[in-house]
Amino acid sequence: MKILYAIQTTGYGHITRAKEIISILNKRVEVDVVFSGPKNKLLNIDNKVINHYKGLTLFYSKKGQINWIQTFFKNNFIRAIIDIIQCNTNAYDLIINDFEPITAWSCYLKNRRCVALSNQYAMLSDKKFSNSTKNKFTLLFLKYFAPTKKGYGFHLIKRKENIFQPIVRRELMKTKVAVKDYYLVYLPNYSIEKLTQVFSHFESYNWVIFSPLVENSSTLNNIRLEKINEKKFNKTLLSSKGVICSSGFSTLSEVLYLNKPLLTIPITYHFEQIYNASIIKQLGGTVLNELNLKNTKTVQNWLDNLTPLGVSNSTDSNEIVDRVLIDFIKSFTLEKIFTDSI
């Protein structure tokens, strides 16, 4: 059996989740990989990468908001259409898609077997949230960004049968370290100027800020600025007293699993992050709409009352792989029986 695993590289979570799933798939089937989106140093997957499409990417303003004008004008939609037409999915029995638009659209138009495996699938399956949102345009955009006819999702809490709890990286599950006197900040869509302005206000607390905008690690009074490095980030996360982060699915999942006090700030107008933040709020967590000096009282209150949410759930990656492969074999067998009977 041969599988093509398609990964959206915009965002940290798609890549880290794919590494866990692919490591298990490799023991059972043959796997090739397709990337779509920006290139970065985290794309160190051992499997054969047959293509890295430019794909489609969301662009953000300095305030952390989605910039729809740049998103529509900086993406090369003509290139994406050509890639969709030329994408060769015929050599594979199944395509597993983590919110990757090129292979999803190619399979959709060519009637190829493609299943979603992403947290976006879980969000879009939540009818209550979909019906309540006022931003129907964003909902429609996400629905058709990487369309699939069948899928499996990830959610911060247990939902339907085909919606799993998060995957947590094995190194985080196995490693135990002493908690140190600092707080981790991961708000990648805010400028360094904005981050240092706000967190320098809390002079009696130590902060470690990770940002893709940092080129060289440095220290500014009570703030340590770190460039993105997976091993250093993991170590800092494990030993931190608490975490302030955006509302990306994987980071929230790992903070919850590690039972760390959490304050989250969703990217403005970012549909998925707003959804994730709403779940954190339901669980009793602290959510800010925006990082600025006006909200320092809320941050201080969080610091004064550090309390983990007590939600520490995860799903064994083996269970997910088993489910996807067994469902595929069942559907393939039923389809063959039906075809042979005609």
Q: 14 to each of 36, 47, 73, 310, how far by Cα in Å?
A: 11, 16, 24, 25
More confident position, 312 or 78: 78
Same fold, 2-167+315-341 and 170-304: yes
Q: How confident is the model at residue 48 (pLDDT cuts 50, 70, 90)?
A: confident
For 226-273, the pLDDT digits (tens) are 998 888 999 999 999 999 999 999 899 999 999 999 999 998 878 889
Task: Provide the pLDDT for residue 56.
Answer: 84
With a cut of 50, say whether residue 58 has pLDDT above it: yes
With a cut of 80, say whether residue 124 has pLDDT above it: yes
The answer for residues whose C-beta is within 8 angstroms of residue 86's C-beta and 6 or more apart is none
With a cut of 60, say whether residue 30 has pLDDT above it: yes
Q: Which CATH architecture has domain 170-304?
A: 3-Layer(aba) Sandwich (3.40)
Measured N-to-C along each axis, helices 271-282 and 136-143 cross at an angle, to the nearest 10 degrees, of: 110
Q: Which of 1-15, 80-94, 183-197 has the lowest mean pLDDT?
A: 1-15
Task: Provide the pLDDT for residue 45.
Answer: 75
pTM for this predicted structure: 0.84
Average pLDDT, the chain: 87
Task: Provide the pLDDT for residue 28.
Answer: 92
Q: Which of 54-63, 180-189, 308-317 has the lowest mean pLDDT?
A: 54-63
Domain coordinates in residue numbering, the chain:
2-167+315-341, 170-304
Task: Provide the pLDDT for residue 141.
Answer: 83
**Residue 23 to residue 46: CA distance in whole angstroms:** 9
CATH number 3.40.50 given to 2-167+315-341: yes
Of 157, 208, 203, 156, nearest to 187 by C-alpha is 208
